[in-house]
Amino acid sequence: MRKARIGLIGAGWWATSVYLPHLKADKRADVVAVNRLGEAELEAVRRKFDIPSAFLDYREMLATAKLDGVVIASPHVFHFEQAMAALDHGLHVLVDKPMTVRAADARILTAKASERDRQLIVSYGWNFTPMAREAKRLIADGGVGKVRHIKLHMASPLRDLFGGEGLVESKNDMFQPAASTWSDPAAAGGYGWGQLSHALGLLFHVVDLDPVEVYAAAVSSQTGVDLYDASVVRFANGATGSLSGAGTLPKHVLDQVELRVFGTEGVLLMDLDGERLELRRDDRADNIVKLDAGAGVYPLGRSVETLVDICCGEPASNDAPGHVGRQAVEVLDAFYRSLASGKVEKV
C-alpha cells in the first residue's frame, strides 16, 4: 500500500505538539514537507520530526513537493489563502479551526473544494466521536421532531491564553502559542474564534441548520479580546438559539461543552464533560445512550487520521466537512460584527 504523502503548513505550537506526533506515529503516512517562518525554527522542526523537505514559503512547498494532502495549522487569518492554494494544487485539506475568519471566504472555500472534488476537513475533533455521531443520527431520524430551539454552551480553562500571558500547560512544548493568534483583537483573537468555533462545529455536525442572524454581547480580557460571550441566533427554519462561552474555568477542570436541542416532539441533551447523551420524547420513548468511559474526551488525532484515511483511499467518514466549517464561521462573523455594531447582524 502506498503511503499518504502529507505536507504541513504552519509548524508552530499546535502542529508540533499534536499534528506532527500523530502523523509520525501513523504507519500509513509519510510527512514529506513542512513549512513555517524562521530559518532556525524550521530547521529544528525538520530535524526533530525527520522531514525530508522544509520550506519558508508555503507556496514553494505546494508547487514543488509531491503531496496527497496538507495540514494547515497557521494563524487563523491565513487559513483561507493557504487552503485555497492547497485545493488549487489538487490536495485534500485539513484546516485548523476556525476554517476562515470571514463568512464570504468560507463560502468560496467550500465551493472550491466541491469544484476540485477534494475533501475539506476542519479540525473539530469532537465531531469524530461515537457520541457525536449517535447524536447526529438521533436528530436525523426525527428524534426531537422539528427543531425549534438550541442551547449551546462551552467553557475552557484558558484565562492566561486569551489574556496575553501565554499558556502554562505549554511551557515544555517545542513552541509556545503565539499571542498574536489568541489575544490580539485585530488578528481574530478571542474566545469566539479560538474556542466557540469548536462548539459550533459540533452543533452543525449534529443539527444541519443554516444561521441567518446573530445578536451578541461579550466581556473582554485585558488585551481587548472577548473572554465571556453570549448571543442569540436565529436559524433559517425559524428556530432560535442561545450561545454562550467562558474562558475562565479553573485549570484543573475539563472543558465544558453542552448542547440541548429542543423540538416539537422532544429534547436531546449532549453533555461532553458529563458524558451524557439522552433523548427525551413526548411519547416517553426515551433513549438514554450508554457511553463508554472517556466518551467526551477530545480525540486529538482523529481529524489527522481522517485526512490520512482519505489520502490512502480508505473508507472514511468526514464528520467535519467544509459546510460545517462554513456554518460555524457564518455565526462567528456575524457575532463579531454584532459586538462592533451593538445590533442584530445578518449572516
DSSP state letter for 157: B
- Rg of the chain taking only CA atoms, in angstroms: 20
Region 158-164 average pLDDT: 97
pLDDT greater than 80 at residue 215: yes
Helix axes 197-206, 130-140, angle to 10 degrees: 50
Taking the C-alpha atoms of residue 237 and residue 235, their distance in angstroms, rounded to an integer, is: 6
User: DSSP string of 235-301?
Assistant: ETTS-EEEEEEESB--TTSPPEEEEEEEESSEEEEEETTTTEEEEEETTS--EE----TTTTS--TT
> What region, left, alpha or beta, does residue 37 occupy, with left being phi > 0 and alpha being psi -120 to 50 degrees?
beta
Q: Predicted confidence band at 220 (pLDDT cuts at 50, 70, 90)?
A: very high
pTM higher than the cut 0.85: yes
Look at the domain 4-123 and name its fold. Answer: Rossmann fold (3.40.50)
pLDDT cut 70: percent of the chain above it: 100
Q: How many CB atoms lie within 10 A of CB 297?
A: 15
Could you give phi then psi for residue 3, rounded to 5 degrees? -75, 155
Q: Predicted confidence band at 2 (pLDDT cuts at 50, 70, 90)?
A: confident
pLDDT in tens, 230-286: 999 999 999 999 999 999 999 999 999 999 999 999 999 999 999 999 999 999 999
pLDDT in tens, 282-332: 999 999 999 999 999 999 999 999 999 999 999 999 999 999 999 999 999
Q: 119: part of which helix (H) or strand (E)? A: none
Residue ranges covered by each domain of the chain:
4-123, 126-297+319-346
- 259 half-sphere exposure, CB direction, 13 A CA radius: 26
Which CATH number describes the domain made up of 126-297+319-346? 3.30.360.10
Where does residue 113 rank: exposed (0-12), middle (13-18), buried (19+ CB within 10 A)?
A: buried
